Amino acid sequence: MAEDFLKYQAQTSPHPLAMKVSHAKGSYIYDVNNKAYLDFVAGVSACTLGHGHPKVVAAIKEQLDQYLHVMVYGEYIQEPTVELAKFLAKNLPNNLEKTYLTNSGTEAIEGALKLAKRATGRSGIVSAKNAYHGNTMGSMSVMGYEERKRAFRPLLPDVSFMEFNNEEDLSKITKKTAGVILETIQGGAGFIEPKNHYLEKVRERCDKVGALLILDEIQPGIGRTGKLFGFEHYNCVPDILVTGKGLGGGMPIGAFTASGKLMDLLQDKPKLGHITTFGGHPVIAAAALATLKEVTKSDLMAQTLEKEQLFRKHLAHPLILDIRGKGLMLAAITPSTDITNQVILACQDEGLILFWLLFEPKAIRITPPLTITKEEIIKGCQIILKVLDEIQEKHS
């Protein structure tokens, strides 16, 4: 199987972790030898309620018995899809009332960029250095990391970059700007939070020049930072909100949400302004709705901030220089790329799953399911500390 994996399944990482998965339940993934791995990554912030959450699985099974795909996006009335869009609207500020559902985060970003252009009649997009918004051509055009996109140029024209948290750079947002796209908390960059009312200032600048503000909440959204959406911490409401990952509770999804007035522009000049076959799929929508209901009706969000403090308390070690991020979106920074690599690989051997961040090689990703227990957090942190002690001894 491992040979076939490398031979037949296209890989883009030179050294995939290649764990042979048997099954997964709660906070654990099991390999084919039935070895249990405590999951501190949650499919890269996607498995909000852990693995195989009974409510998500039940919602999927129930919908499987009704119907699967029946029609392209937005033509037929499919209850789970409508209920999901409505649930989002009821839990968002008033201007975020209409949602377009996609199959992935990057597609939702594409839709949001198109909507900003369509709505303003402008072509300029301003993004942030070290931003990550996905890997299709439009999303890659607004990715602020040249090394990973050079080979794929030419990309979208009229894209410029400002430094995240740098107020002077806000002058790059002008009357030619259709949209400003930012992650509410920068992910790939190393879980960088907005500081000094930065997002409020971006909002103000956008309003001044008539540009739309797009916030990418694909990673921080759906309770991961202790609120349903990250922007709720920063007193800044976007014109277009993009979600994904954790919204699907382990199923593939993306969504962009805006006012009815903005969103209806996609019906006209041209009509069919954004098309997808499978977006809004009823089975995926049922899983997402079950996930959202559980996140909003349980005390998981409140627990998230307590769990963050537990991580911070139990990850005290000389080789952890900083812990960045918020809630259960944390990055432990070690002194070197080499140490970070050693920790991630050794922890996997010890039965703990950790992972990297895209553009910050010293960061260890800690984004467990929101359902992780306090005991599991302490157990995983003890494994990390043991591995760090061994690394420290080796180097002393």
Ligand X SMILES: Cc1ncc(COP(=O)(O)O)c(C=O)c1O
**Binding positions for ligand X, rule: CB under 6 A:** 104-106, 109, 132-134, 183, 187, 216, 218-219, 244, 254
Q: Cβ closer to ligand X: 311 or 355?
A: 355
Q: Cβ closer to ligand X: 215 or 323?
A: 215
Shortest CB 261 distance to ligand X, Å: 25
Sign of CA dihedral 181, 185, 189, 194: positive
Quote the DSSP letter at residue 247: G
Q: Cβ closer to ligand X: 252 or 351?
A: 252
Q: Cβ closer to ligand X: 177 or 219?
A: 219
Are 24 and 37 within 8 A, CB to CB? no
CA distances from 31 to 84, 362, 366 (A): 34, 27, 21
The residue among 227, 221, 228, 165 whose CA lies nearest residue 197 is 165
Distance CA 254, CA 247 (A): 8
Q: Cβ closer to ligand X: 37 or 355?
A: 355
Shortest CB 310 distance to ligand X, Å: 24
Distance CA 298, CA 84 (A): 18
Interior/surface letters 332-349, b for 16+ CB within 10 angstroms, e for the rest: bbbeeeebbbbbbebbee
Q: Cβ closer to ligand X: 132 or 355?
A: 132
Quote the DSSP letter at residue 180: E
Q: Cβ closer to ligand X: 191 or 387?
A: 191
Shortest CB 332 distance to ligand X, Å: 18
Shortest CB 228 distance to ligand X, Å: 16
Q: Cβ closer to ligand X: 277 or 336?
A: 277
Q: Name the residue with the smallest CB distance to ligand X.
A: 105
CA distances from 16 to 5, 46, 188, 341, 359 (A): 10, 19, 18, 13, 17
Shortest CB 105 distance to ligand X, Å: 2
Shortest CB 65 distance to ligand X, Å: 27
Residue that has been written with the tokens 């018995």 in this structure = 65
Dihedral-angle region of residue 141 (phi above 0 means left; psi in -120 to 50 means alpha; beta otherwise) = alpha
Distance CA 376, CA 8 (A): 36
Shortest CB 183 distance to ligand X, Å: 5
Shortest CB 191 distance to ligand X, Å: 11
Are 41 and 19 within 8 A, CB to CB? no
Shortest CB 188 distance to ligand X, Å: 7
Distance CA 157, CA 169 (A): 19
Q: Would you tell me how many other CB atoms lie within 10 Å of the CB of residue 152?
A: 12
Q: Cβ closer to ligand X: 245 or 362?
A: 245
Coil, helix or strand for 274? coil
